[in-house]
Every structure is written in structure tokens, then in C-alpha cells.
Amino acid sequence: MRKTTAILTLTGIVLLAAAAWGQNPPRMKSQKELDAWNAINAAPSVDSQLQKIDDFLTAFADSDYKLILLDRAVELAANKKDYPLTMAWGQRDLDVNPTSYVAMLALARVTADTTKEFDLDKDQKLAQAEKWANGALDALKTATKPAAYSEQRWPDLVKYWQSSGHQSLGLFAMVRKKYDVAVAEFQKAFDISPEPVYLVHVGEANLKAAKYDDAIAAFDKVLAMPDLIPVIKQVTEREKREALRRKGVPATAAPAQPAPAAAPATAAPPPATAPVQTDTPPTPAK
């Protein structure tokens, strides 16, 4: 797991984008509001967190943390790969903040994770999801750093979101069998944030396009990376063997141990149960 993903996983900051903060950090207006916030963090499951978020938004409709929690709820639902739940929270979020790139990227990601080639509504779902992904990428071009984040942290967040958007666009192209488009989008994702999973997808798209040399080259680059997590290494080795087989190169090595059925569809997200946090913890107003 490389640096950017590690940072995101440890802090949960991808769940907390709030571009609308500008340079005015949010503040708690009462102890009751802070207690409700802490109750969200203490919730033991994703479903209970979502319920606590709903309770918070109902009780404190004018909270400075409204946009933060709406973004978080969409991310939590997307991490479950629950399409209807993500759509419901995403629409609720975008109704309040139409330019929420966190919401748009979560909606795009869950669509990429759940849409299959023979779905009857495939074209409609992918068209809408592409609008979300492109809308998020456009919004990120002019996004300003929220006051709650440090100067050091913000660039890594932007790169993560940008690469996530391009990855989703690549996955949509794969479903449509537009493999050259997929390769280009996955390569953009890797160029922005050099996570190995993006380069695995480059290889897989080239493999689907019968560009075996390009696929093998991509897989070799992944395998040359240090500190690969086991699932990425196993999938990459398996996909490379398949590319060599299709190219007609005879297998010379002993068969490897069975690998997982497929590579991870998306880069590892932060834990769904990570607490809501910012660089500066909330305190109640006096």
C-alpha cells in the first residue's frame, strides 16, 4: 500500500471533504450538538453510523457540519457497495451542495462497482455516472483548501479524488468494451497517484484489447513495485500468466497458488467505521 493510500486510510480524511467551508472552519453551537457528533463516532456499525448521522441532521438542521456529514454518509453507503442506499444519500447531499465532489465521486464509484455488462439499465446508469465523475473532476480544478486541513495534507487529498474520478471513467469504459479509453483513464489515474491497482487495470484493459505486450509491460511494472500487498501481487502474477498464454509463450514456472477471482475494482478506501475527524477537533461554542 503506497503513501497516499496509507495516509487516507489512517486518517479517514477522504470522508471529510467540505469544499464549501472555504476559509471559515465549522464550529459546534452547543454541547448537545457535540454529543450527537461524538455519538456518530461511537456507533459500532456502518448502519448505526448512518442512523446517527440522520438523527444529527434532523436535530441540528442548521449545523455547520451538515455538508461534512452528508458527504460522510454517501461515502459510508458507497463503501458498502449498496447502490440504492448510496443513490439516496447522494441525492440528499447534492440537493444541498450540487458541487460536492465527494458525493459525485462516491456515486460514480458505486456505479462502477455494481454495473454489469448485461444490465438492462447499463447505458442509463453509466451515462449519469460519467456526468458525476466528470463533474467532480471539473469541481476539483478550482477547489480551495478547507480551513480545517493543513497545507501538507490537501494536495494528497486532491490527487486521491482526481485519480478516483479517472479510475471510475476507466471502469465505465471497460463495461462498454472501449478498452483504449479505459487504458487512457487508468493511466491518468496512475500518473496522478501511482497506486499499483491503477496500473493493474492498465494491464487488464490491454489484455482485453489483445495488446499482450502492453499488458505484460504494465504487469511487470506492478511486480517491480516494492511492498505490494499480497492480493495485488497474486492478481498481477495471474493476469501476466494469462497474457503470456494468449501471446503463445509456453509456461516455464511451476503453477502458482490459487489467486483471488478478480483484482480490486477500486483503490482501498478508508475504513467505513473510521471516526469523523478533522485536523482541528470540534469544540462547542461558549
Question: How many other CB atoms are there within 10 angstroms of residue 43's CB atom?
Answer: 16
User: CA-CA distance, 172 to 264, in Å (whole number)?
Assistant: 15
User: CA-CA distance, 122 to 131, in Å (whole number)?
Assistant: 14
Q: Any residues with CB less than 8 A from the CB of 169 and at least 6 apart, and which?
A: 130, 133, 134, 181, 185
pLDDT in tens, 174-218: 999 999 999 999 999 999 999 999 999 999 999 999 999 999 999
State the DSSP code for 26.
Answer: -
Which CATH superfamily does the domain covering 3-27+64-247 fall into? Tetratricopeptide repeat domain (1.25.40.10)
Confidence of residue 24 (pLDDT cuts 50, 70, 90): low
The alpha-helical segments, DSSP class H, found in 115-195 are 122-141, 154-175, 179-192
Collapsed DSSP state (helix, strand, coil) of residue 200: helix
Domain boundaries, the chain: 3-27+64-247
Q: State the first-to-last Cα distance of the chain, in angstroms, to the nearest integer.
A: 43
Confidence of residue 45 (pLDDT cuts 50, 70, 90): very high
Confidence of residue 15 (pLDDT cuts 50, 70, 90): very low
